[in-house]
Structure 1
Amino acid sequence: MNQQGESVYEAGYLDIYETTIRNSPADVKSSDPKSSVLKRNKSKSRLKKILWLTCLLATLVFAVCVIALLAVLLDRQTSISSMLRANEISRPASCLELKQSGVRSSGIHQIQLPDEHVPIEVFCDMETDEGGWSLVASIHESDISAKCSFDDRWSNYAPNADTYKGRTNWENSMIFGEVRKCLYDDYKNAVFHKISASDVMLWHVPSFLPISKAKNEATLRYRTANKFLGRYGANLRNLFRDHFPLKPVTGFRKGATGMKSLISSIIEMKYQNKGWYSYPVIHGTDRIRDEKLFPGYINRVTFRSDEGTRSIRYGIEHRDDHLQFYGFSEAATPFVYLNVIGNDLQRSKYFQIQVRSDRTNPNPAITKFENISSSGNFNLHYHAIQFANKSMRTECRFHFYVSNEKDWRSTPPTLFHQTDETITSRRQTIYSIEGVPRRVLFGYVLLFRNTGEKYTSVELDEIAAFFVKAVAKFPRLMNEWRYADPLVVPVTFDKGSEESVLESAPENMTKYIDAGNLQFTSYNNYGFPNAICPGVSVSSMSPEYACMGGISNDISENGTCGDFAGWNGRSQGAEYGRGRCYRGWTEIPCDSNGFSHPSSDLSSTILIFYR
């Protein structure tokens, strides 16, 4: 280092030294300048820590302030929600509550349903039976020939009942349509499933009118008055979903149980007959073989109509949903075959029971009997033919039908007679009921007596009396084709009457309906249900011609899959080309003044109210 540089360095060092001495406390002894520099660096480090702690504290304070602010906002929100809930509670939730709050005018009003933050518009009838009726749904048929189309919201297509797993709009919480256009299209609001009600009311109103004119223009207005909904979930959604579901069913029907019980009652007849001969009847076979009678077979039974034949096997139930009949025979002695014939759609003009035996019987003594026996409203008409020979056991074939025009709504045959008799190589007989019989019991019993003993007319009359009394114990036999009993509720008319309901009913259905009722979940003989029968209860095997909504597998032009089901009747050749209808002996188109509703019904909308 040169002399000048050394002078500068010395001067700087002296300055630092003087400054340190000058700023040091008097009681602190001087130290080396390098130590002072280190102390200053430590002071700066402490300052940084203080600044960091200050920032951290400020951040914590800020966080506390934010939390406090959020708590205040949350408290305010809770207060607002509480106010909203209080407001909802105070707002009427139905037209009945509106009525109770002082609203007197019918029309469209706002209500607040439970668990809903937005009020909805609903049409209220504040006049009928002191008012308070809420409109919940409308059933509108836009095109009766389009079956289960996109706008048929109250019906479902089920090509196979076994695989149907859906739930209809009668049973779910779907909503659709607008209250102001409920006479133009299907409509269903949330009131349908959200409120509790006691009764329902229906209006039949011409379509395409403003809702304000519905009451005055309605052709029918009626309501229930027995608070029946309270027993079935308090609204229609719960009634259908939980008590009367609209689900097609197959398999077991109640008829088999009733038929077996009836046959068992008839079989008891043998204990009251002297000289009775018991022959073997084997389950699943179609004939009887008994060497004590003779070699060969006897009693091959065939059930016939003008649409085909059916060979009968013992103990096996058989049915025909097209012709609406079911038959059954028990594998027991005596052999009894019974057939419950519906034929509501008049597809067959006759039914026959044919009996054949591979039995040669030279020169038998043939005796024929006929008579009528009654018990209450039940009438039994029988024909019996007896084959007797001194050297052989006596065979008597007892054919009969039972009718009850009051309880069963029977249409008795116009003719019951023997149509064929062969006694050469084979003993064959055919007995026929004709004239489009409907809702009758058609049967046959095979009677045998010991060798040389004959039946007398008195004994056969006693058998007939025994049979008709046994049948009279089953007054609901004609309803046992059903899979389940429907719910029937009486109604009170505010406009129209039972007579006006019958006037618009299909001609061929009037025999099977009772006006002045509502019927829920009515099954047809195919196992498909209909939701509601408006204004009527139906005992027919084809309720779809008087009821509406539900499920079907028939989407043909005149089928039954639609909101108004089969209200447009049946066309010639419907249902696989086999449809036939008769008036007397004359075949007519099936929809010709028979099963269709008037055009005024087809162009109407059904409104459903709760209260």
Structure 2
Amino acid sequence: SDRFKFIARSCKEILDKYDEREDGIYYLTTNNGMKYQTFCDMNTAGGGWTLVASVHENNMNGKCSVGDRWSSQQGNNPNLPDGDGNWSNRNTFGLVESATSDDYKNPGYYDIVAQDMSVWHVPNNFPMEHWNLAAILRYHTENNFLRLYGGNLFNLFKQFPVRYNIGSCSNRGPAVPIVYDHGDTESTKNLYGPGPRNEFDPGFITFRAINHERAAMAICSGVKPRGCHCEHYCIGGGGYFHPEQCGDFPSFDWDRLGKEQGWSASKEMTESAVLLFYR
């Protein structure tokens, strides 16, 4: 079908107005009339999911260098506690076609008023037509939790700033139950070593988790922290971490002792982009 003829504010609106059920790229418009392209998942759990962002680690050894847009491209600096601040600003970057090979953020991230989220972990560099089948983990929420936090992550992170030294590890944001579309709690646990497995409960998505060193991570994908070592299993962050941890996937490239203790994430997890959808 000619997907580009449908103009709407979200993929859910296209689904509801036109009963369009083909996955792929569509045009959307913002509240102020800006037009942009993004990917629509029109089939998972009833469809209508709008891709608004992806988090991709371009260099596991970069430590908050160029390309770490969801943490800091300005270095690992306690004097820049917000880092690049992209979790709670209106910056946009990247291209939808490249969402598994680079960071991506479109205007829908701050413009769409949604109720729920879907998350896909897709191996790096996979072409868009294979994202669904290639994903190592896919899940969604279904309790309308975003209504409580302004309808999107932009507003949620205004309430729970992703900032260094904002609080202790007990000051994390909401932990929301998830429904698995591919994977389960056991496969989620197996994406991490024995250290992290003792630190979290699978079956949730958690926002703004803080570790022992007072560094703030944005999203703990598929898990709810019970301990204070969330840098081993959460992504994104503010402007300062332990020197060995900084980046969009902050400590998946751990030191030798840490790896021997089983604190690393799996190769599957570290080499997958995290795609974020609204509905």
User: One fold, TM greater than 0.5?
Assistant: yes
C-alpha distance in 2 between matches for 1:246 and 1:165: 7
Q: Secondary structure at the match of 1:527?
A: coil
Where do 4+ consecutive residues of structure 1 move more than 4 Å?
none
Q: Give the equivalent residue in structure 2 for 1:109.
A: 26
* Aligned equivalent of 2:189, options 487, 495, 502: 502
**1:212 is the counterpart of 2:129:** yes
**Are 2:247 and 1:605 aligned?**
no
Structure 1: distance between partners of 2:222 and 2:183: 10
Task: Report if the CA contact (8 A) 2:213-2:241 is conserved.
Answer: no
Which one has the bigger strand percentage? 1
Deviations along 1:138-168, one digit per CA (max 9) or x if unpaired, are 111121111111101111345326x636561
Residue 87 (structure 2) aligns with: 170
**What is the distance in 2 between the residues matched to 1:570 and 1:99?**
47
Percent sequence identity is: 35
Please tell me whether the aligned partners of residues 81 and 165 of structure 2 are also in contact (alpha carbons under 8 angstroms).
no
1:201 alignment partner, one of 91, 112, 118: 118
Classify 1:595/1:106 alpha carbon distance in 2 versus 1 (closer, same or farther; 3 Å).
same
Contact conserved, 1:568 with 1:595, CA < 8 A, in 2?
no
Residue-by-residue CA offset, 1:404-433 (whole Å, 9 max, x unaligned): xxxxxxxxxxxxxxxxxxxxxxxxxxxxxx
Deviation of 1:535 after TM superposition, in Å, equals 0.3
Quick one: distance in 2 between partners of 1:525 and 1:591? 19
CA apart distance, 1:121:
1.1
User: Structure 2 CA distance, aligned partners of 1:485 and 1:601?
Assistant: 23
User: Where does residue 595 of structure 1 map in the other structure?
Assistant: 263
| Selected match of 1:568 from 240, 245, 253 | 253
Match of 1:426 in 2: none
- AA in 1 matched with 2:130: K
What is residue 189 of structure 1 aligned with on the other side?
106
Matched, 1:159 2:77: yes
* 2:77 alignment partner AA: P
Give the C-alpha shift of residue 591 in structure 1: 1.6
Give a deviation string over 1:519-549, Cα, whole Å, max 9, x none.
Answer: 1011112211100000001122211001011
Aligned residue number for residue 179 of structure 1: 96
2:56 to 130, 140, 144: 140
Q: SS of the counterpart of 2:14? A: helix
SS in 1 for 2:164: coil
**Match runs of 1:137-536 below 5 Å:** 137-156=53-72, 157-160=75-78, 164=81, 168-241=85-158, 243-249=159-165, 482=169, 484-536=171-223
Evaluate the alpha carbon distance shift between residue 535 and residue 169 of structure 1 in structure 2; reply closer, same or farther with a 3 A threshold. same
| 1:165/1:213 CA distance change after superposition, 3 Å | closer
Is the 1:521–1:530 Cα contact (8 Å) retained in structure 2? yes
- AA matched with 1:247: R
Task: Give structure 2 stretches of 5+ with no counterpart.
Answer: 1-5
Q: Secondary structure at the match of 2:65?
A: coil
Alpha carbons 2:84, 2:239 under 8 Å: kept: no
Residues 545-589 of structure 1 deviation map (CA, whole Å, 9 limit, x = unaligned): 010110253474xx1111111112233xxxxxxxxxxxxxxxxx2
Assess if the C-alpha contact under 8 Å between 1:483 and 1:527 holds in 2. Answer: no
Q: 1:528 to 1:561 in 2, by over 3 A?
A: same
- Structure 1 residue identity aligned to 2:225: V
Structure with greater Cα Rg: 1
Q: CA deviation at 1:246?
A: 1.0
The TM-score normalised by the length of structure 1 is 0.43
Give the CA RMSD over aligned residues: 1.8
Following superposition, the deviation at residue 198 of structure 1 comes to 0.4
AA aligned opposite 2:211 = N
User: Aligned AA for 2:223?
Assistant: V
Counterparts of residues 37-76 of structure 1 (less than 5 Å): none
Q: Give CA-to-partner distance per residue, 1:150-207, whole Å, 9 cap, x none.
A: 101111345326x636561111000000001111100000000011000010001111
Against the structure 1 CA distance between its residues 508 and 561, is the aligned structure 2 distance closer, same or farther, given a 3 Å change threshold? same
Contact 1:144 1:562 in 2 (8 A): yes
- Given that residues 551 and 561 in structure 1 are in contact (C-alpha distance below 8 angstroms), is that contact kept between their aligned partners in structure 2? no
Preserved contact between residue 123 and residue 271 of structure 2 (Cα < 8 Å): yes
State the SS of the aligned residue for 2:258.
coil
User: Residue 205 of structure 2 aligns to a residue in which SS?
Assistant: strand
Gaps of 5+ in 1: 1-89, 254-480, 572-588
Please give the alpha-carbon distance, in whole angstroms, between the structure 1 residues aligned to 2:136 and 2:150.
Answer: 30
Assess, with a 3 A threshold, how the Cα gap between structure 1 residues 165 and 138 changes in structure 2: closer, same or farther: closer
The amino acid across from 2:217 in the alignment is N
1:212 positional shift? 1.3
Q: Deviations over 1:286-306 (max 9, x none)?
A: xxxxxxxxxxxxxxxxxxxxx
Match for residue 13 of structure 2?
97
Whether the 8 Å contact between 1:147 and 1:555 is mirrored in structure 2 is no
Which AA in structure 2 matches 1:110? Answer: Y
| Counterpart for residue 437 of structure 1 | none
Code of the residue aligned with 1:523 in structure 2: it is: I
